[in-house]
Structure 1
Amino acid sequence: MPSHADWVQSTAVDAVQPAPTAYALQPQNPPSFTWSRHPKATDSTVYTIEIRRGSEAPARYTTTRNWFLPTTKLEHGTYAWRVVASNAPTEWSTERGFVINPTSSVFEVPDSATMRARASRSRPRMQAAGFLPYSQWDAARIAERGVAYKNLGNDVIRRIPNPAPKDSLWTLTAAGGNTAAFVAQQASIHELINKTSEQLEAATLMYRLSGNQTYLDEALKRGDELAALSPSGPTSFVNQDQGTRAIALALSKATDLLDGKIDGSRRARWIEVVRLRGIDMYNDLSGNNGRLDQFPFDSHGANNLGFLALVASLMLNEFPEAAVWFDFSTRAYIHSVYAWSGPEGGYSQGTYYGGAAIDGAVRIWDPLTQLTGVNLFEKPWAKGFTKFFVHFVPPGQQTHLFGDGHEAKPYAPMLKALASRVASSEARWYYNNLTAAEAQLTLLNAPYPLPVMRYTGPVNAPPNGAVYPSIGWAAMHSDLWNPVRTSLYFKSSPYGAYTHSHADQNGIVLMRNNKLLLSETGWYDYYGSPMWSSWYRATKAHNAITFDGGVGQPTTGNTLNLRRKGKITAFSNTATLDYVEGDATAAYDGLLTGATRKVWYMRGKDQVVVLDKLSSLTARSFEWNFHAPVAITKNADGTSTIVNGTESLCIRPLTSGTTFETRVGATPKAGTYEAHAAYTRPSATSAEFLMLLDIGCKKPAVSLTTTSTGRTLSVGGQTIVLPR
């Protein structure tokens, strides 16, 4: 592969992108620097990075990996940076710029040696600062956590008879392919290993809190069960990487917290299992000189990196490999936790998988903070991630959004756990308005007092409108604080339909009073299933544009989906009007020459206007798809009506030439109902849809006037200007 002038910008669409760039203001100080490897790089290549503020002399640093995270903050100012590889010492990259100012939050990460020294202290290493046994709790701690203590203790006792995981329960291997049976076995392993790991962790914690021998006996029994599973058997890394990491982490945590209570032979056996499973994790992640450094878009790999960092921290000085794992993974993990968005926060793979990321964060970040002194919940990305959930899974919402698992109900205790650990106005508001209690185990492991309670500033509802440009999502709410809110969501993502994302660029979802009026359809039976491929992730299953009988944004070839992208090209938010614009032309991969959608949310009128402009070199019959979890009624005047309980929506074409058609989708999940329809236009090389989404079916007066510069649309007395 020949080098090119600006080699840090790889031609591979799934390679890491150079950052920071475009003189963007950085949320984090110091920022993380990334670039693609030099085309001629080898495992011994050393990179030199220059960072210069204004006209000052540049500071130089060296690294063997294609990322760099300074250990100390930068002074405020406008910076430029460039990088060169040792195997091509004259090929400096193009200079890129960024800005650090007082709004950039300081987040400093010491070097690996410093953090390793901190993590090597005497056991228990991961115990939260200020930990006290229950007998020493004061009234305030009992008020906050006493119920969780009592309930977790009862749960541990209740689960003592639960069956043990055994290799003999599972007979299939990955060599047999991703069949439905193997997928079912994967789920079975995941469920039973997680239950056993959680029981081990819960029993261990309850013993630490209470001193009750029953809990210690249960912890030792469950640890022995996990240690008895073969590292090369059905729970091996190659067969179930999630099972391997859960076993390794649970045994590492228990070894640490039960130090002095485990006999020597048992302790050696547990530690050897951790070592063997950790070797498999490390070998996978360190392949290709650290494969995630160059190709970061791997959900399992990114989570495994965090698990490895924590396991390594807990196992330092137990075996030599742990120090190698620590140096390889810990700073890399802290640096790279926002692979699925830019540094402002968000999660391009959808809120369901964002919820899985919360689960990993709560399990890893709390103990990692105690071990290394670096609190990832204080990383600016984490604060943005929390704000992202405020906007896209506000309190009371009954479904997830955009991507695999969108139909699932959000797990409010996990959202509460995230909010409880972030000290910000948005987190405090979210925490106060989520009525569910945090899960007992995570609450009892949380710092005391909860970080969210340390925030002392004003607590107000976040803005009703928000855009997350690096993932291409926008949210528009009537009044976020009100449970009977209207919520309109829009997506046009540069991540395309990659992995768990769907081919829904320029798609919308509409809710009122947490009831779906325009919904996404299908259900997540398993990744790669026939239904997943043919319907669930297809454009026609979403509120988006198709043509010629359901042809939409292509999804074949997973990596190619990163070039089939959307982009939010404009966004504005005022008290009375929100506006978002997306361009999904690239998502159609050459099938269309233009695919833009403009959306206006008239907050005062609770009305939505959607304008799609479409073009193609070949004549197409374009289709404006929409879906609902209840019946869609065709009206005699060409409009259509959706009534979901107390809430309703009337869809009204505002230009002539559209025809209503009922559509047929995949068989919905048992116990659910889905309706599908589309407005279509006659075959042509260009088309326009101008649609009014009348929330509440109020039937406002509408007028559309053409002027010399464009068109003016009045809806119920509120006016917007439409482009030609």
Structure 2
Amino acid sequence: MPPPNGFRSFARLISPTISDSKGLAGPDNRSTSALFESVGQVTMHSDLTDKNRTTIHFRSSPYGAINHGHADQNAFTVGSQGSALLISSGVYDYYFSPHAQAWYRQTKASNALTYDGGIGQQAERWYAATGKIRAYMDGGDFTITTGDATRAYDPATIQRVLRTLVYLKDNLLLVHDDASASKPVSWEWNFHTQEAASAAGGPQGMIAVQRGQAKLCMQQLAGSPLTKLAQTDQYPVNPSTSGWTPTHHAVWSVATPGTSFESLVLIDIGCQESSKPVVQRDGSALLVKVRDREFRFEAGKLPQYR
């Protein structure tokens, strides 16, 4: 299994494919994923030519949470069939509004990690509250990327926050979290939707999200058990504008505080996958076999794959 530390395949901007009598045409084998390293964003698509494609955005940026920036390092969103399924929540009413300060710009408003009742990343910190894309690789049938949001959290409490996304085209997304703290904290896995999510309950319970014809199913496969699910459609402070539509905000959390947190969540976009990944322990590492691929996750290290 090759160690891909720092693995990456830099994105190239390619014009849309064209064809005419002179035979002018773009490349047939365009990548469906891209790394934009300077701003710390990775974008992954199932198919660039399909208007109903799945699109995943992942952010871990060197620009901190100041001015119009949000405290959302290591956050991601998922859309499919023209609908947003996992969203970044909140409403822009006006700059630095009460709603923006209490919710819109906070970590808990994004699909990211918080702890102890919604404590997230440091707001209004340009150089301190930063993230970084540590690794990126487009392997054709899959894309893997790791973000490091450690610097974004309070250094007196949080020691490490790594998140790896593995997108197995065109419908499976693995989300692996690796975090540690200097004292026991109650870790929280936040996600936001336009329609209320349904849950079967328990650490192996399935959570379903649907918007129109688009849907996804989420299930924790391994790690610190996420056994508590709380969901609301309320904001702590409402936007000052009128006509906004409520969205739904869920917190999936551990029952027992701990100094370390590991979680592997499977997101099945379309809820059609018949076979689950095979997950097993290999010493201190987590080994995941899915389809014809194998991924290895270990605390404090970048993932490996083959």
TM-score range, shorter chain: 0.7 to 0.9
Alignment TM-score, normalising by the size of structure 1: 0.36
Cα shift at 1:589: 3.4
1:500 is paired with a residue whose SS is coil
Match of 2:189 among 606, 611, 624: 624
Say yes or no: does 1:641 pair with 2:216: no
1:540 is paired with a residue whose SS is helix
- 2:163, 2:177 within 8 Å by CA — same for their partners in 1? yes
1:534 is paired with a residue whose SS is helix
Say yes or no: does 1:549 pair with 2:117: yes
Q: For the structure 1 residues 636 and 620, does the alpha-carbon distance in structure 2 shift closer, same or farther, using more than 3 Å as the test?
A: closer
1:561 is paired with a residue whose SS is coil
CA distance in 1, matches of 2:128, 2:290: 37
Query: 2:159 is matched with which residue?
Result: 593
**Percent of pairs with identical residues:** 33
Paired letter, 2:216: L
Query: 1:662 is matched with which residue?
Result: 230
Query: 2:51 is matched with which residue?
Result: 483
Match of 1:611 among 176, 180, 191: 176
Query: 2:265 is matched with which residue?
Result: 691
Match of 1:459 among 26, 46, 71: 26
Query: 2:95 is matched with which residue?
Result: 527
CA distance in 1, matches of 2:264, 2:286: 12
Match of 1:706 among 276, 281, 286: 281
Q: For the structure 1 residues 663 and 550, does the alpha-carbon distance in structure 2 shift closer, same or farther, using more than 3 Å as the test?
A: farther
Match of 1:653 among 208, 215, 220: 220
Cα shift at 1:718: 4.4
Query: 1:715 is matched with which residue?
Result: 290
CA distance in 2, matches of 1:636, 1:685: 24
Map 1:92-103 onto structure 2 (within 5 A). Answer: none
Paired letter, 1:719: E
Cα shift at 1:491: 0.2
1:532 is paired with a residue whose SS is helix
- 1:624, 1:689 within 8 Å by CA — same for their partners in 2? no
Cα shift at 1:497: 1.2
Q: For the structure 1 residues 662 and 716, does the alpha-carbon distance in structure 2 shift closer, same or farther, using more than 3 Å as the test?
A: farther
Match of 2:70 among 499, 502, 520: 502
- 1:593, 1:615 within 8 Å by CA — same for their partners in 2? yes
Cα shift at 1:671: 4.6
Query: 2:4 is matched with which residue?
Result: none
Query: 2:137 is matched with which residue?
Result: 572
CA distance in 1, matches of 2:184, 2:285: 25
- 2:91, 2:244 within 8 Å by CA — same for their partners in 1? no
- 2:71, 2:121 within 8 Å by CA — same for their partners in 1? yes
Unaligned 5+ runs, structure 2: 1-9, 300-306
Q: More strand by proportion, 1 or 2?
A: 2
CA distance in 2, matches of 1:715, 1:526: 45
- 1:632, 1:676 within 8 Å by CA — same for their partners in 2? no
Query: 1:225 is matched with which residue?
Result: none
Name segments (4+ residues, structure 1) moved above 3 Å.
715-719
Cα shift at 1:608: 0.5
Query: 1:674 is matched with which residue?
Result: 247
CA distance in 2, matches of 1:488, 1:474: 8
- 1:660, 1:677 within 8 Å by CA — same for their partners in 2? no
Map 1:408-423 onto structure 2 (within 5 A). Answer: none
Paired letter, 1:617: S
Higher relative contact order (CA closer than 8 Å, sequence separation 6+): 2
Unaligned 5+ runs, structure 1: 1-343, 346-383, 388-424, 433-452
Paired letter, 2:229: E
1:156-196 CA distance string (max 9 Å, x none): xxxxxxxxxxxxxxxxxxxxxxxxxxxxxxxxxxxxxxxxx
CA distance in 2, matches of 1:617, 1:505: 20
Q: For the structure 1 residues 709 and 635, does the alpha-carbon distance in structure 2 shift closer, same or farther, using more than 3 Å as the test?
A: closer
1:456-499 CA distance string (max 9 Å, x none): 95324742111011111001111111111111110000002122
- 1:701, 1:717 within 8 Å by CA — same for their partners in 2? no
CA distance in 1, matches of 2:266, 2:228: 14
Say yes or no: does 1:517 pair with 2:91: no
CA distance in 2, matches of 1:579, 1:501: 25
- 1:640, 1:652 within 8 Å by CA — same for their partners in 2? yes
CA distance in 1, matches of 2:133, 2:244: 36
CA distance in 1, matches of 2:250, 2:282: 33
Cα shift at 1:715: 3.4
1:65-109 CA distance string (max 9 Å, x none): xxxxxxxxxxxxxxxxxxxxxxxxxxxxxxxxxxxxxxxxxxxxx
Query: 1:290 is matched with which residue?
Result: none
Alignment TM-score, normalising by the size of structure 2: 0.83
1:313-357 CA distance string (max 9 Å, x none): xxxxxxxxxxxxxxxxxxxxxxxxxxxxxxx99xxxxxxxxxxxx
- 2:61, 2:131 within 8 Å by CA — same for their partners in 1? yes
- 1:546, 1:625 within 8 Å by CA — same for their partners in 2? yes
Q: For the structure 1 residues 709 and 550, does the alpha-carbon distance in structure 2 shift closer, same or farther, using more than 3 Å as the test?
A: closer
CA distance in 2, matches of 1:631, 1:598: 26
Paired letter, 1:599: L
Cα shift at 1:619: 1.2
CA distance in 1, matches of 2:192, 2:263: 17
Cα shift at 1:722: 2.5
1:178-229 CA distance string (max 9 Å, x none): xxxxxxxxxxxxxxxxxxxxxxxxxxxxxxxxxxxxxxxxxxxxxxxxxxxx
2:44 is paired with a residue whose SS is strand
CA distance in 2, matches of 1:554, 1:709: 31
Cα shift at 1:711: 2.8
Paired letter, 1:631: A
Count of residues in Structure 1 that have an aligned counterpart in Structure 2: 276
Q: More helix by proportion, 1 or 2?
A: 1
Map 1:344-423 onto structure 2 (within 5 A). Answer: 387=13
